[in-house]
Structure 1
Amino acid sequence: MAADTAIFAGGCFWCTEAVFKSLAGVSDVESGYIGGSVDNPTYKAVCSGTTGHAEAIRIGFDPDVISYDDLLDVHFATHDPTQLNRQGNDIGTQYRTAIFPLNEAQEASARAAITRAQANHAAPIVTTIEQGQWWPAEEYHQDYWVGEGQGNPYCLAVIPPKLAKLRKGFADRLA
């Protein structure tokens, strides 16, 4: 299996992790923090909004099964890229919509994906393209939806609609 990596921020990492774990060709999804100024940030510090980090996911994928462009399209279809520093009731820069390309080809693809996504939205896309150091989130955040998330009212309200959008728009990409 040829492995590649993508890093996206689109609100709560519990919610985005659940979406991308459902895709064929995705081997791993890790929740974490990126784009801030503090080394080894904690969830509490990131939630304070003072570190500059975004809650994000790092996706391991096989580009022979699913392309980076496909992952970008899923990203834009399963969160609201027109909300600045928020997703729904989650408010703060840690919930911003951002793409963290790992090379020039990914950056070019990210810019093209923003243009594609803009065609589907009346409001301006506010997704940023950023760089940053990746920091894994604490262990209890990993695989949250398949564990604790099933009993978390917030997750039960937010994740199933995202998964429904994924199934409707990307049925051919599901694992």
Structure 2
Amino acid sequence: MDTIGFGGSCHWCTEAIFQSLKGVSLVEQGWIASFEPDDAFSEAVVVHFDAQVISLQTLISIHLYTHSCTAIHSMRGKYRSAVYATSHGQAEQAAAIIETLQAEFAAPVITKVLSLVSFKLNTSNYLDYYYSNPNKPFCQNIINPKLTILLEKFAGNVDTQKISSPDL
């Protein structure tokens, strides 16, 4: 099993997206810090995946399409757009993938490739947030549109036992 971290939007959103994929065995939701100067923890997830089932390129592509990977906004400290690599080789591969995917976006992709140095797991009452609370307004208004994008662009990678229709 391989691991990689992703941040860019609310960790509840990011958790739901990656929990919905074939080949992902575990998504840990919380906060990640890296080696960045003046680094603070940022909302993110650690994804445990089987590279024989879902590729790193597919995971990164899904990540870029399901959060505002080209938007610079005032909440970027809390919601850093990043891929958190667990090795130097993975970091090099992630950077090359993002560079290749840039052609699919009109604006520059701001997603950084950083080292996953430290992770703090969220409290248990917030874990598995979407699948435990799918009818809450936040889930309906914020997470469902991201899952709809996932279904539209990456249907072959979606675990249909979890989600299967744009109506969610």
SS at match of 2:145: helix
Whole-angstrom CA distance in 2 between matches of 1:26 and 1:72: 13
Give the counterpart of 2:88 among 93, 104, 119.
104
What whole-Å deviation, never above 9, does each CA across 1:82-138 have from its counterpart, x for those lacking one?
A: 12256xxxx240111011101122111211222123212222111112222111111
Whole-angstrom CA distance in 1 between matches of 2:125 and 2:4: 22
Give the counterpart of 1:66 among 54, 61, 64.
54
Whole-angstrom CA distance in 2 between matches of 1:20 and 1:142: 13
Whole-angstrom CA distance in 2 between matches of 1:65 and 1:125: 26
The answer for the alignment partner of 1:144 in structure 2 is 129
The 5 A counterparts of 1:31-46 are 31-35=29-33
| TM-align CA RMSD | 1.9
Whether the aligned pair in 2 keeps the contact of 1:85 and 1:97 (CA below 8 Å) is: no
Unmatched tracts of structure 2, length 5 or more: 160-168
Whole-angstrom CA distance in 1 between matches of 2:130 and 2:142: 11
Whole-angstrom CA distance in 2 between matches of 1:74 and 1:109: 16
Unmatched tracts of structure 1, length 5 or more: 38-49
Whole-angstrom CA distance in 2 between matches of 1:109 and 1:124: 19
> Please, what TM-score do these two structures have when normalized by structure 2?
0.85
Whether the aligned pair in 2 keeps the contact of 1:84 and 1:96 (CA below 8 Å) is: no
Q: Tell me by how many angstroms 1:4 deviates.
A: 1.0
Whether the aligned pair in 2 keeps the contact of 1:85 and 1:95 (CA below 8 Å) is: no
Whole-angstrom CA distance in 1 between matches of 2:76 and 2:107: 19
4+ residue runs over 2 A deviation? none
Give the counterpart of 1:169 among 137, 153, 159.
153
AA matched with 1:62: D
Whole-angstrom CA distance in 1 between matches of 2:73 and 2:3: 24
